[in-house]
Chains A and B, each alone.
Chain A
């Protein structure tokens, strides 16, 4: 085993894991201008990304619903700025332009192409400037064609979607790309393990899926992904350094869900999966195989929109066969697993004030090499609780400058019970999980 190979494998893995820890918050008033509807029609709490049942149908319909007035440009801009404080300083500044603590950064300044491009063709595409990393990149890509037909009196929507992150195309609030927290600090701590389906391929791949949505209830999707070449990743502003490697041609993404919208309340249950084989060193044939299977569910009480409650839960199990990591010395065991559990409960008052309490728990099987430095007991286990309160003054009918502007101000606290395998001294240097507790004050704005 070459030391450089091991370092590369670990770097690649860290890169994969790090990519799972980015913000997904988004709100695009371009949709509001296109449809004449306020943000609150599609989003719980009047700000993205948490979709209402109506928002789910708008997405699966291809982002093409409109008020038929024409002359609407599918363009929006958005900003996320934050201040992050951690209980104890980080060992190193998280990026070249930040400090070891108390960082005020522009997390994202984004341009969206969002809305109807043609009769049945719509998109949700985001180009982002990352203020912490000081680089611009193609962030989210969702380009879809959808058409509906009548099937014995029931509507059947058929669609094709091109996207750059497995689950980005998913419409439900419990799938990895869209689950709480919707905003996370870009300069705080990153847990040591995540499943591949939970952001591990984010932005570095291109996928094509076909889906059907029958009777506003049954959702079935099947698709595959190919990795972008390092040169293409560089051209898109992503850099070559965090290239996760080449995906095998048999990559399979699947999703099935059942949802019911009773108007005053709604629910969904589903299963999701990703089978992928990743060649981390494109010059070597060795591969790591990932088999991800997840279950998720959600319930939303919308009532008369003055008091709303939502609860989402998901569990993902990943089975890893780490041939490449084992060959390069990045892992001690060929087989391993990662399990992720998430639960989030939110209350919304008058589509303006939100309180959310969430629990996350990530566990992995023991591997002294893969989870060596910075871990205890060869385990990546990380668990904690997130509490958030946020204020969204606009985004409703009659709001200031509706449908041109939206704003959210939030305060989030993350408490770690366990980090990288232990509650205390997880890194062997005396650092405790609670030292990573994070306060995040954030501002989101969109126009």
Chain B
């Protein structure tokens, strides 16, 4: 019995990175279709929007060389996973009148995958 449990735990432990990788891979696709027009994931590469490299855990309006809107500069947000998720789901509700024109990502599965991918960018 103990041996069975150990084997199950081992298999689960081995599978978890794969599952996470799968979510991140799907998240990369979500990024490609939802975000890539305006945001790069390369360090220090800003487009119309700032780079998403290192976005998770970053303070808002902190990418050097990018010109943020006043409302973004004054938002005082730190992009924790929870805060970032809330923002991507409904950006105009979290920071009204910002320049970003994105309407938001409503699909919870896509949002999970995207968050998984963004957390790998550091």
Give A contacts to B, CB under 8 Å.
35-38, 41, 52, 54, 57, 65-69, 155, 216, 263-264, 302-306, 397-398
**Complex A-B, nearest 3 residue pairs according to Cβ-Cβ distance, in ascending order:** A304-B29, A36-B47, A68-B67
23 contacts between A and B (CB under 8 A): A36-B46, A36-B47, A37-B48, A41-B36, A41-B47, A52-B37, A67-B47, A67-B48, A68-B99, A69-B67, A263-B34, A302-B33, A303-B29, A303-B33, A304-B28, A304-B29, A304-B32, A304-B33, A305-B36, A397-B36, A397-B42, A397-B45, A398-B42
Which of B40, B42, B46, B48 has the most chain A CB atoms inside 10 A of its CB? B48
Asked if B38 lies at the interface with its beta carbon under 8 angstroms from chain A, I say yes
Contacts A36-B46, A398-B42 aside, 15 further interface pairs with beta carbons under 8 A come to A35-B47, A37-B37, A52-B37, A67-B47, A67-B48, A67-B66, A69-B67, A263-B33, A302-B33, A303-B29, A303-B33, A304-B28, A304-B32, A305-B33, A397-B45
Q: Which residues of A contact B99 (CB under 8 A)?
A: 68
User: Considering residues A35, A54, A69, A263, which has the most beta carbons from chain B within 10 angstroms of its beta carbon?
Assistant: A263
- The minimal Cβ–Cβ distance linking A205 to chain B, given in whole angstroms, is 33
Name the A residues within 8 Å of B33 (CB-CB).
263-264, 302-305
Interface-central residue, B33, B34, B99, by most chain A CB under 10 Å = B33
Residues of A within 8 A of B47 (CB): 35-38, 41, 67
Determine the distance from Cα of A67 to Cα of B100 in the docked complex, in whole angstroms.
11
- Nearest chain B CB to A298 CB, angstrom units: 18
Give the residues in chain A near B103, CB-CB below 8 Å: 216
Cα–Cα, bound, A41→B46 (Å): 14
Question: CA–CA, A172 to B34, complex, Å?
Answer: 21
Once bound together, how far apart are the Cα atoms of A35 and B33, in whole Å?
18
Given A36-B48, A304-B32, is A41 in contact with B67 using a C-beta cutoff of 8 Å?
A: no
CB distance from A371 to the nearest CB of B (A): 47
Set of chain A residues within 8 Å of B40, measured between Cβ atoms: 397
Please tell me which one of the listed residues B32, B42, B48 contacts residue A305 in the complex, with CB atoms under 8 A apart: B32
How many whole Å from B106's CB to the nearest CB in chain A? 11
Complex: chain A residue closest to B40, CB-CB: A397
Q: How far in angstroms is the closest Cβ of chain A from B73?
A: 12
A residues within 8 A CB of B45?
Answer: 397
In the assembled complex, the Cα of A305 lies from the Cα of B48 at a distance in Å of 19
Once the chains are docked, how many angstroms separate the CA of A66 from the CA of B40? 15
Task: Name the residue on A nearest B96 (C-beta).
Answer: A150
Interface residues of B in 90-122 (CB under 8 A from A): 99, 101, 103
- A33 → B minimal CB distance (Å): 11
CB B24 to nearest CB in A, in angstroms, measures: 13
Q: A399 → chain B, closest Cβ, in Å?
A: 13
Bitwise, B44-59 to A at CB < 8 A (1) or not (0) is 0111100000000000
Q: How far is the CB of B47 from chain A (nearest CB, A)?
A: 4
Residues on the A chain within 8 Å of B101, using CB: 57, 155
Distance in Å from the Cβ of B114 to the closest Cβ of chain A? Answer: 12
Query: Which of A36, A52, A303 has most B Cβ within 10 Å?
Result: A36
